[in-house]
Structure 1
Amino acid sequence: MTELAADSPTSTTSKQPPRDYRMKPRELLTLISAIMALMALGIDLMLPAFDDIREAFDLGEGSPETGKVITVFFMGLAVAQLVWGPLADRFGRKPVLYMGTAIYLIGAIGSALAPTFGLLLLSRFVWGIGAAGSRVVATAIIRDRFEGTAMAKAMSQIMAVFMLVPILAPSLGTAIIAVFPWRGVFWFCAVWSVFIVLWSLRMRESLDPVNRRPLKLGATMQGYAEVARTRVTAGYSVSTIFLQGVFTTYLASSELLITEVFDREAQFPYIFGAVATLFAAGAILNGRVVGRIGIHRLVNGVFGVLIPLTLLSVVISVTSGGRPNFWLFMPVLALTLGSFMFLMPNLNTAALTPVGHLAGTASALSGAARLAGGAVLGTIVSSQVSDSTTAFSVGVAVLCAGSWVSVLVTRRRSPVLRQLATPEPTIA
């Protein structure tokens, strides 16, 4: 993997002696994966507790209200990034990581102690605000230290490790609930956040002092305006909003579909983990091929497979009255979701490439738009899902089509797009 020093010719910073980051790239990527896992654990570890949450708060058997435990977390995650981004560009990545983790800890403990469902949702929103800080920092550090297809490969490696969390988290959550009260899943996340803080003490600040921005409203708004006016950044961020909507829909609906439609409640952790395995496999494979064929050629090819898969899912659902054969429907869904690992890292890389000097701000705005928009779209679709796969399949197909159209609209002649379309086979 090629790591960019601060004095790299392609870096946006001024020429300086190579900086001592203390951590080698492999440990850094592992730490960033663990930081990203703060967000993932705050989502996937909760899923096995949904039945207990329904019972504890008298929500009714099979109630879709538990989906709000996921969506409000995403809303907090989205909104707070707009604040964390400028803070990360002013004070650095590590202070924001520590502040965000402190709020994350408060949200997790608040969720563990919440006496009502309303207070649980409020705590989850606060939890998401804290998780937003870690997400902004993780993406900004990658942009600080990598660029182009090297960044895409780094993002893929992080995603590969990151996707182990959905594979393991439901089973881990089930094990925790088997030994402790169901609120133990919240306490586990609190302990994990403390572990991250202790490990990150080894990491040195990656923000080059040259790129520090003043924390003034005018400068902040100017930075956001520059990011929003950058066509490539805006266009591909919109594309990822639709993909995030699919992901949110799946997270909010998976337990209900597997339990109510397919009557496989006991198998839920294993089914969820098997689908997540394809996420990890896709991320690993993407890291191997993106440097050889280029970001945009790969994205175009994946959409050529993804759109037919979503249409096939709709046909399977409609022709079966919304209750398809498990072994027919789930493999198609798994392949659909697995293909996202060839899209999200590459579209994120394409979006951030022109705005490296605003890495924190750009990461915040792009991430906030993606998560907020995805939460809204996911809530709309998941609220229609009950005892049938039809609404789910149609919603997924529409959202994936929206993502594809956004890419087509954005794809015009551009130096940035030509750079990203060029393979870089020499990058290890």
Structure 2
Amino acid sequence: MTLSAPVDTPASAPQYRMSQRELLTLISAIMALMALGIDLMLPAFDDIREAYDLGAASPETGKVITVFFLGLAVAQLVYGPLADRFGRKPVLYLGGAIYLVGAIGSALAPTFELLLLSRFVWGIGAAGSRVVATAIVRDRFEGPAMAAAMSQVMAVFMLVPVLAPTIGSGLIAVLPWQSVFWFCAVWAVIITVWSLRLRETLDPANRRPLKFGSTIRGYTEVARTRVTAGYTVSTIFLQGVFTAYLASSELLIADVFDREAQFPIIFGLVATLFAAGAIINGRVVERVGIHRLVNTVFMILLPMTALSVVLSIASDGRPSFWVYMPLLGLTLGSFMFLMPNLNTAALTPVGHLAGTASALSGAARMAGGAVLGTLVSAKVSDSTTPFSIGVALLCLGSWLTVLIVRRRSPDLANDHLRPTPADVAVVG
């Protein structure tokens, strides 16, 4: 895939040590810090239940995921202004240090409550990597090139869910289950050392003072930018589906379909569809256009979610594995045509506030998605029906939000990635 040239002038180009390929690979690895903090430990859920006397098939282990997302959401609101004031690299190092504390604390936690607290701290650390990764992409790219770059990053990033459960299972087979936490700590150290090669990407002209009033004005501008706010809300619903799937996948595969031993393989195959969607999206979005592509995908996605509900209800919550899981995989894979593109469209009007905008949109998406996903996953035990209904309703909410944004900003239908004044208008 060939990306458009980065949005830096020839005069500024020499400041970057890394090639475009290495830069995007590093960004993918930085974002993998967040993914590893989620996917690597899924095979350890049974061991966690046993170690903390939670009971067989207890859904309490889902909190290990949701508290991570909550920490991820809350901290982004702090990291955003810091990244716009001090630059991307200092925030990356700060987040990495907190990430290490959370991972080590999780490995050593004597009680389930302390494990959850450590996971929350871990999420706070992971938030720094998430804010920095998105802000760097926005610093270096814009418009269709940014959408393509984000897709390339997501394609590499999605290899983590493919490999992580297998790696986690392998670690648990030969080492104590806490080794999955230590693995993440080692990965954080590796990324920190690699990032020493990264040049600061924040334009000095875009540095913002770290003052309460300035920070509030920045967040207010982002929140009141119609396109940014609307598309962020749309991604909250989609993030809710992601969270519900991550928290429920082990129960669905092990208890509903009685395929516990095959969990890493099945989870990895579903994640492969994520990666495939990201790769295809990166190849077609510049030709088709963000808004036209998003609309087409929703027209396919919504019938698939409705079909999942019908299959679940008709089979009393236990549909055929060979029908339901491929359908679920295609449903989740289609999100790779939605999330990168909606995120790009949301950040386009606020490039001068990339760190702040990335933080606010990311915080809202993670926090809202954690709440919505928890509401869905809490209903999942021995049936796919609650999960299927929850997914269908969340996808419908995302689509309806997009329709509202389009109606209030009609010029978006022309697929102009550089918004018109009407698109950027703040809502009062």
Within 5 Å, which residues of 2 pair with 1:223-238? 223-238=218-233
What do the CA deviations read for 1:133-159 (whole angstroms, capped 9, x no partner)?
000000000000000010000000000
Shift of 1:202: 0.4
Q: Does 1:413 align with 2:410?
A: yes
Name the counterpart of 1:94.
89
C-alpha separation in 1, matches of 2:219 and 2:7: 26
Question: Which amino acid in structure 1 is aligned with residue 275 of structure 2?
Answer: A
Aligned to 2:370: 375
The answer to whether the Cα contact below 8 Å between 1:107 and 1:130 also exists between their aligned partners in 2 is yes
Distance 1:197 1:403 in 2: 36
Whole-angstrom CA distance in 1 between matches of 2:157 and 2:412 = 32
Question: Which of the residues 199, 208, 213 maps onto 1:213?
Answer: 208
Correspondence for 1:425:
none
Within the candidate set 374, 382, 385, 1:387 is matched to: 382
- Which consecutive residues of structure 2, in runs of 5 or more, have no partner in the other structure? 420-428
Gaps of 5+ in 1: 9-15, 423-428
Per the TM alignment, residue 19 of structure 1 is displaced from its structure 2 partner at its CA by: 4.8
User: In the alignment, is residue 139 of structure 1 matched against residue 134 of structure 2?
Assistant: yes
Check conservation: 1:6, 1:208, Cα contact below 8 A.
no
Match of residue 356, structure 2, among 356, 361, 379: 361
Q: Residue 153 of structure 1 aligns with which residue?
A: 148
Within 2, Cα distance between the matches of 1:421 and 1:330? 39
Distance 1:51 1:205, change over 3 A: same
The residue type paired with residue 178 of structure 2 is R
**Alignment partners' CA distance in 2, 1:418 and 1:189:** 40
Equivalent-residue separation in structure 1 for 2:5 and 2:345 (angstroms): 18
Q: Summarize deviations over 1:197-222 as a string: whole Å, max 9, x none.
A: 00000000000100000000000000
Amino acid at match of 1:172: I
Q: In 2, Cα distance between the equivalents of 1:43 and 1:18?
A: 36
1:401 equivalent to 2:403? Answer no
Q: Does 1:2 align with 2:10?
A: no
Measured against aligned partners, the alpha-carbon deviations of 1:351-382 in whole angstroms (never above 9, x if no partner) come to 00000000000000000000000000000000
**Whole-angstrom CA distance in 2 between matches of 1:342 and 1:144:** 22
- TM-score (ref. length: structure 1): 0.95
Picking from 332, 338, 347, the partner of 1:343 is: 338
Q: Report the Cα distance in structure 2 between the residues aligned to 1:266 and 1:185, rounded to whole angstroms.
A: 18
1:74 aligned partner:
69
Residue by residue, what CA displacement relative to the aligned partner does 1:102-157 show, whole Å, maximum 9, x if unpaired? 00000000000000000000000000000000000000000000000100000000
Question: How far 1:6 moved relative to its partner?
Answer: 3.3
Q: Which SS does the other structure have where 2:15 is aligned?
A: coil
Residue-by-residue CA offset, 1:392-412 (whole Å, 9 max, x unaligned): 000000000000001000012
Superposed counterparts of 1:244-323, under 5 Å: 244-323=239-318
Partner of 1:50: 45
**Equivalent residue for 1:168?**
163
Residue 4 of structure 1 and its aligned partner are, at CA, apart by 2.9
Kept in 2: contact 1:82–1:364 (CA 8 A): yes
Q: Number of aligned pairs?
A: 415
Please state how far the C-alpha of 1:413 moved relative to its aligned partner.
2.0
The CA RMSD over aligned residues, in Å, is: 1.3
Percent identity, please: 77
